[in-house]
Each structure stands twice: as C-alpha cells, then as structure tokens.
Structure 1
Amino acid sequence: MPRKKKSRKVGQIGVRKDPERKPRPNVPTGKKPGKGKQPGHRNAGEKAPNKSESNKAKRDPRVGSKRPIALIKSEPKKYATPTQELAALEADSKLALLLDKLDNGDTISVSEQQYVDEKLDRHRVLCDLLGIDLEEDDDSDDPFDKLDALNPDDYKQ
C-alpha cells in the first residue's frame, strides 16, 4: 500500500458563498477609521495657522502660568495677638546681635541700623498697646523697700 503524504489543506467546509447575493446594508464596507492620533504626531511640526488663528498673537506653546513669582518673601509675618508679636521680637536673634554690637560701641551698616530702628519702634508700639512701661528702672525696685513700707496694722481686723 503506497504511502500518502499528509496535507495541511483541508477540503471545503460548509457551503460556498452565492456570488449574486448582496451584502447587508448595516455592515459598513471599506476601511475602518483609526483610533487615536497618527504615528509620529508628537514629533510633527506645528500646523499652518488658519485665518482665525493668524489674527491672534503668537502664543507660547509651553503651558503654564505667566505670572511672575516673587523670589523674596516680602510679606511680614502675621501674628494673632500683640503678645505673640512682642515675644517674637524679643526672641529675634538678629536684633539681639545688632543690639549687642551697639552696646559694645561697634559700628553697624546703614541697612542694619534701619532694621534695628524699625524693630525698636515696633517694640515701643507693642509695649504701649499692652500697657508695659519701658521707663521703669529695675535697679531702683528693691523688694526690701516695699517691705519697710508695709504697715502690719493695715492687715488687722
């Protein structure tokens, strides 16, 4: 018995299509529209401007805000109460350093002197608001002087 070589070709399956039959009307014919952008669209150059676009000024293709950003913080700090502002002024290390220089008799620059004057003026205003008397001399307040002024008879009932 002779060997028959196997073939991958399969005979006809099903019935042949009728050549006179018309395609269904709801089935679109032709190429389907593609989805998404064309290949290479990201690297393509800009399009030629239309008439409506040519009237407008040329815009920067980069996206973002054009508002300038301040590089130096110009706003003064806001404090809830005058006591907090006074505490911050008294804890200011730059002001303390400059005041120490002035006490030692060293010279400071004009801008540093302006800073000291501004902070001391604000300190006076805050002390006036809070009712703190800056003119009190702490050296003259001897606690024993007050003891001599007390009269024990005032406290008897």
Structure 2
Amino acid sequence: MPRKKKSRKIGQIGTPLAPKTNRKPAPASPKRNKKTLGKPAGTRNNPEQTNSQSKPNKTVKDPRVGSKKPIPLIVDNKPKAKVAKPKFFSPAQELESIEQNERFALLLEKLDSDVALTRDEKAFVNKLTARHQELCDLLGIADEDDSPENSESSAENDLYEQFESIDINKFK
C-alpha cells in the first residue's frame, strides 16, 4: 500500500460550497419566543401606568413586596410590656390572687391616706375592686360591715338556695 507523503498545504476539506449568488435562500423558520423568567428590569420602582390610566377610580396599590408596617424612628423610653392574664381554675383562686396583689394593696393604702392617684392607678383600683365584688357575690361572701349579726342563721337556711343559684357556665 502506497503511502502519501505529508504536506503542509491545506487542501479542501469536504465539499465546496456554491457561490452565494447561486445559493437558494433557506426557508424562514418562525422565530421562537424566549421564555421569560420574572418581571423585566426596573418594574419594582416603576409601576405599570397602563392600569392606573384605565381605572382612575381604583386606589393605587403599591407593587413592592414586603412589610408595610411603619418603623418608629424615635425609640420610646417606656417599653410597652404586655402583661399576660393569669388563668384561674376557680373563683376562689382568683379572689385569693386579688387579695394578695401587692400593687393593689399599696394603692388601697394610698386611697385610705387620701393621696391622689393617677388615672391609670384609679382605673386599676376600680377594675380590681369591681372584680373582687363580683367574686365575693359569686362565692356568697358578704362584707363584715354590711351584714347584721342575725345573718348567720339565715345564711345556714339559704345554703341550698345559693348552691342552686350558681351558674356553672361562668367557671368554664
């Protein structure tokens, strides 16, 4: 088998093309639309104006995503702490907690000594005294000042009626 000698000349590789003037035009393929991912650049800061022009009565919605809650620029010195309301299993426990409340006791001492209370302190005292009175009425506890001495015998006779009058739904 004869061998060909290597040469540095570049010959034609493959078939030669016809001149451009003689070529047939390639069939025009329909252009494919690229799939777009997301919105075009700048839409966050430039809301669409076509929607606002077509519906002038509708309120303009802010297209930006995120929290609209205003951030306070000035820090208050008074932190607002939410006090969790304790849940009681019985009215007796709630009455006991009201009677053991130190703040309530101090404010009652101020009232007894005729010291002026602030609006918040007055509201707190009024709220707790009203709740204390409700619980005393519910449990059948009468004030010592208001009850006459003969009430012991009448209370013993009416124990069954008091038991019947208690509404159990209030304890749930």
Short-chain TM bin: 0.3 to 0.5
Scaled by the length of structure 2, what TM-score is found? 0.45
Scaled by the length of structure 1, what TM-score is found? 0.48
